[in-house]
Chain A
Amino acid sequence: MRRWWVRPVVRIGAALMLPFMVPAIITGLIWALPGDPASLICPPSQCKGTQALAERWNLDGGPVQFFSGWLSDAIVLDFGRSWSAFQGMDVGMLLADAIPVTCMLVALGSLWTFTGVFGAATGWINRRLDPLLRTSGMIPVLILALVGAALVDLKYGFGSSGQEGQLARLLIGSAVLGLADGAFAGAVTGTRGLFSRESKQRYVGVAILRGETELANTLPNVTPALVGQIRARLLHLLSGAVVVEVMLKIDGLGDLLWAGTLEQDFGLVLATATLFAFGSALLLLMQAFTEIAVALHVRRSPKVEAA
């Protein structure tokens, strides 16, 4: 118990490193793959200028040179322009447009998670519904997203990629994200399991006999585990957002990441992946600070004087 701070400090350290580690690892990975974007746009057998393009895109000096060049620009928020996926479009602008969309998608999707957590913790969602929830959670995100995409395309036609269509895609996407692959069912059953295990502790029984509520007693002790669980579920939503955005053609970060990967648009891929890493880092920080707050709260409890 004396070393309670180790875990949150490790989390904070990981959170600080994540936005640098992720693009560095991705750079290593893309360097290991065959082919390079300059040769794809200008195959040496078909045109001159491949070398000039490789130099312009900093691809001629190995992964370290490329990554350090990209990082020094990224630090001043210069992400350059898209090479191939959205040729000529400013990556920073693409990200700026996509961030609110993905945030909104994950936020709306997480409403389901939080509803599940709250409903399970308070007993508002009846235990008898669990089999139904588990069954409904077995539907894969891919299937639900495909059905959603078809619905939007049929309803909005040409306008399905316009503002109205995008809004419909966002709402359907958030429902898909919140419900599919057991996201909602997992939130309910996971939280219920956590609380029911804690409720069996002796101190809870004593507290109830003293006239206190069960939730008030279990909550401080389950909070670190609950926050860890919520972080995992939000991460699940964040990664699920990529699939949902691609399938439903939602103009978010996940769709950008997918398009960039398909087209070997390194700058776009690195920038988008870094933003996802930032998201993950924020969740780690949230968990770390909650752990710190709970630990301080526990230690702030009045000491009982010796009789």
Chain B
Amino acid sequence: MELRRTFLALGGLAMGVLGTGATLNYFEESLPTSLNPLFGETMVDSRAQELVFDRLWYNDAVTNELKSRIVSRHEVAEAGRAIKITLKEGITWHDGTAMTSKDLCFTVKAMLDSGTPSVVAAAYQEFIAGCETQGANQALIRFRKVLPKPRARLGFHILPAHQFDSTAISPDLEFSARPTGTGAFKGARARREVIFDQYSNSHHSPSVMQLQLREGGDPLLQIRTLEGGEVQGIIVVPPGSRADLRASDEVTLKSYDLRSWWFVAVNTSNPALQDKRVRQALNLIIDRTELREYTIGVKPGDRNSPCEFISGPFVQSSPYYNRTVPTVPSANRAKADQLLKSAGLTRVGGRWHVGDQPITLKIGMQSNLNNEATDLLEQVGNQLGDAGFDRQTSKVGADEWSQEVVSGQSDFDLVIGKWSFGLVEAVNDLFHTNGRKNIFGYSDSAVDELLNAYEDAVTDTDQKDAYHKLHARLADELPYLFLWKLDTKSAWRTEVRGNVITPYFYFTEIDSWKVVED
């Protein structure tokens, strides 16, 4: 084993000397909050963790096929309530220790441990019952119920048991800053950057020697730095900056399929917004075409628009999108006024009132969205102001967003945000009464039933049916005003080749990335 590792290390070194290995510098939206997969919740976290860890199963970026780099065999057991997994041999952790089934079961037990304060783990606690090792490389994961497609649900990262004292894992362990994984790179966080150093393994042979992640900051500055060649990539390029890069011979714009959609969540607990007709009126007051033009720069009739309106909680290319539900591209003030009056609101001096009180809407927006849609918060505020609503607007930082808004602890009336999904576009957490990301504690029994139907569905068709109905119901109930899907583009210099970008996780195929000197 030692000899094998020595050869692998020499191989990596040789690649570096021959020039195929290189350092890639890239700008991220922010620094990751944690490199421990149990605690990172942002997209930046997911992308960084993908470099350091292996997920049990993942979807191939090109064929969409479910694959695993660490599982050699699997079989469904106990009549669908368990899965028997055999791990590949020869895989080592970044500290040289061999990965075994003990690590797999440790990860499961850590996620199930009530002393592990992890939102990520909570999603797995709902359906995983336990794990049992059956030899060095075999483990049996048991479920709470029969899972129709168990492998698709087992996309968690594996943690090294020997790095922890207990299955109760805390976020403030050194592991969050300097994790040990089985992925293609060893990661180490510093104050202003994260360095990922190549680690060749039996299942990974990356060509890139090192990746350096730094926070991007001003988009213009990022682009100038990319064009100057000092940095090789930008993960998210705002729509307004894409034209410059498109014209460049040295940079390629690449699609990053995030399946993300934008919304305005409505606080249904606010007495003024409890009535569905008020929410429907707000939906008609928002002029999406105008918003899109003023904030993203898409003129009406533009071809190749990066922005596509939606009428429900899925992107239009999703199999779950219900095409019978029309989008609302333009405002209809007359109809909105009619709905507001029918809901019992009165207009006094041009302002809408509930009883004697004028309605003031407190509107928040995830601050980083401003990079992609400049002044969206102000534009939405202006449209509502013109329609007769007083408003207070404020931007919400990344931490406040994840820690207060998403967990339902904010006091906003409207919140502008964006949700991003991988291939699994499960929206149960957003709209179920007990959903973990139910921003304003929205509750509707019919919606809950449809979400449960999706959860319990055995076939793809049943799942689609449930979500199509859900789409129609939400478009009528409007706990969210659905805005649009905005394409996400990355920019990489042309010397970076083979850079297949995996939906959502981005770096899953990092082994194929290489830097070619022109």
List residues of chain A with CB under 8 Å of any chain B CB: 35, 38, 40-43, 45-50, 52-53, 56-57, 80-84, 86-90, 94, 97, 153-154, 157-159, 161, 249, 251, 262-263
Contact A88 B231 (CB under 8 A): no
Residues from chain B with a CB closer than 8 A to the CB of A42 are: 117-119
What is the interface of chain B, defined by CB distance below 8 A to chain A?
A: 25, 27, 33-36, 39, 113-119, 121-122, 125, 168, 170-178, 189, 191-193, 214, 217-218, 221, 224-225, 228, 230-231, 397, 399, 403-404, 406-409, 436-437
The CA-CA distance from A35 to B228 in the complex, in Å, is 45
CA distance A53 to B178 in the complex (A): 21
Q: Indicate which residue in A41, A157, A159 contacts B117 across the interface (CB closer than 8 Å).
A: A41
Give min CB distance, A67 to chain B, whole Å. Answer: 18
The residue that A47 contacts in the complex, of B27, B36, B122, B168, with Cβ under 8 A, is B122
Q: Cβ of B174: which chain A residues have Cβ within 8 Å of it? A: 81, 88-90
* Complex-state Cα separation, A78 to B478, whole angstroms: 52
B115, A49: Cβ atoms under 8 Å?
A: yes
Rounded to whole angstroms, the CA-CA distance of A157 and B25 in the bound complex is: 11
Query: Which A residues are CB-close (under 8 A) to B173?
Result: 81, 88
Q: With A52-B115, A87-B39 given, can you name 6 additional A-B contacts, CB distance below 8 Å?
A: A43-B409, A46-B122, A49-B115, A56-B170, A88-B177, A97-B191
Q: Complex: how many Å from CA A45 to CA B231?
A: 41
Complexed CA–CA distance, A257 and B401 (Å): 21
Residues of chain B lying within 8 A (CB to CB) of residue A49: 113-118, 168
Cross-chain contact of A53 among B25, B170, B217, B409 (Cβ < 8 A): B170
Query: Which residue among A48, A52, A251, A262 has the maximum number of chain B CB atoms within 10 Å of its CB?
Result: A48
Tell me, in angstroms, the Cα distance from A251 to B189 when the chains sit together: 14
Which residues of chain B come closer than 8 Å to A262, judged between CB atoms? 397, 399
Most chain A Cβ neighbours within 10 Å, of B33, B191, B221: B191
Q: Is the CB of B125 within 8 A of A48?
A: yes
Complex formed: what's the CA distance from A46 to B122 in Å?
7
State whether B407 touches A86 (Cβ < 8 A).
Answer: no
28 A–B contacts from the bound complex (CB under 8 Å)? A41-B171, A42-B117, A46-B122, A46-B407, A47-B118, A47-B119, A47-B121, A49-B113, A49-B115, A53-B171, A57-B172, A81-B173, A81-B174, A83-B172, A86-B177, A86-B189, A86-B191, A88-B172, A88-B175, A88-B177, A89-B174, A89-B177, A94-B191, A154-B221, A157-B228, A158-B230, A161-B193, A262-B399
The answer on a CB contact under 8 Å between A45 and B122 is no
What residue in chain A is nearest B407 (Cβ atoms)?
A: A43
Separation of A86 and B399 alpha carbons in the complex (Å): 13
Given contacts A52-B115, A52-B168, A81-B173, are A88 and B409 in contact (CB under 8 A)? no
Partner of A80, one of B27, B172, B214: B172
**Closest chain B residue to A149, Cβ basis:** B217
CA distance A259 to B245 in the complex (A): 33
Q: Which of A49, A56, A86, A154 has most B Cβ within 10 Å?
A: A49
Which of B118, B177, B214 sits near A161, CB closer than 8 Å? B214
> Of B39, B117, B172, B404, which one neighbours A81 at CB under 8 angstroms?
B172
Closest beta carbon of chain B to A154's beta carbon, Å: 7
Give CA–CA (A43, B175) in the complex, Å: 22
Q: Provided the pairs A94-B191, A157-B230 are in contact, do residues A48 and B33 lie with their beta carbons within 8 angstroms? A: no
| Closest residue of B by beta carbon distance from A47 | B122
User: Residues of A contacting B33 with CB < 8 Å?
Assistant: 84, 87
- Report A-chain residues with C-beta under 8 Å of the C-beta of B399: 40, 84, 262-263
Tell me the bound Cα distance from A80 to B171 in angstroms. Answer: 12
Hey, which chain A residues are within 8 Å of B172, CB to CB? 57, 80-83, 87-88
Q: How far is the CA of A48 from the CA of B177 in the complex (A)?
A: 23
Smallest CB–CB gap between A258 and chain B, Å? 12
List chain A residues, Cβ under 8 A from B170: 53, 56
Q: Which residues of A lie under 8 Å from residue B117 when comparing CB positions?
A: 38, 41-42, 47-50, 52-53
The residue in chain A whose Cβ has the minimal distance to the Cβ of B225 is A157
- Minimal Cβ-Cβ distance residue in A for B121: A47
- How far, in whole Å, are A42 and B169 apart by their CA atoms in the complex? 12
Chain B residues with Cβ below 8 Å from A161 are 192-193, 214
Q: Are B221 and A153 in contact (CB under 8 A)?
A: yes
Residues of A within 8 A of B116 (CB): 48-49, 52
For A86, list chain B residues within 8 Å (CB): 177, 189, 191
Complex formed: what's the CA distance from A83 to B174 in Å? 10
What is the CA–CA distance of A42 and B218 in the complex, to the nearest angstrom? 31
B218 contact set on A, CB distance < 8 A: 153
Given A42-B119, A49-B114, A49-B116; A88-B34 close (CB under 8 Å): yes
List residues of chain A with CB within 8 A of the CB of B168. Answer: 49, 52
- A251 and B193 CA atoms in complex are apart in Å by 12
Chain B residues with Cβ under 8 A from A83's Cβ? 171-172
In the bound complex, CA of A49 to CA of B166 (Å) = 14
Residues of A contacting B34 in the complex (Cβ-Cβ under 8 angstroms):
87-88
Q: Report the bound CA distance from A41 to B25 in whole Å.
A: 30
Task: Report the minimal beta-carbon distance from A97 to chain B, rounded to whole angstroms.
Answer: 8
Given contacts A47-B121, A89-B189, contact A35 B409 (CB under 8 A): yes
In the complex, what residue of chain B is closest to A165 when comparing beta carbons?
Answer: B192
* Chain A residue at minimum C-beta to C-beta distance from B35: A88
Q: Which residues of A contact B189 (CB under 8 A)?
A: 86, 88-89
Known: A47-B118, A47-B122, A87-B39. A153 touches B191 (CB 8 A): no
* Closest beta carbon of chain A to B442's beta carbon, Å: 13
- Name the one of A87, A249, A251 contacting B171, with C-beta atoms under 8 angstroms: A87
Given contacts A82-B172, A88-B172, A88-B178, contact A158 B403 (CB under 8 A): no
Which residues on B sit within 8 Å (CB–CB) of A81? 172-174
Which residues from chain A contact B437 at a C-beta distance below 8 Å? 46
**Interchain CB contact under 8 A, B228 and A249:** no
Nearest 10 interchain pairs by C-beta: A88-B176, A49-B117, A42-B117, A43-B407, A88-B177, A157-B225, A161-B192, A52-B115, A40-B403, A47-B122
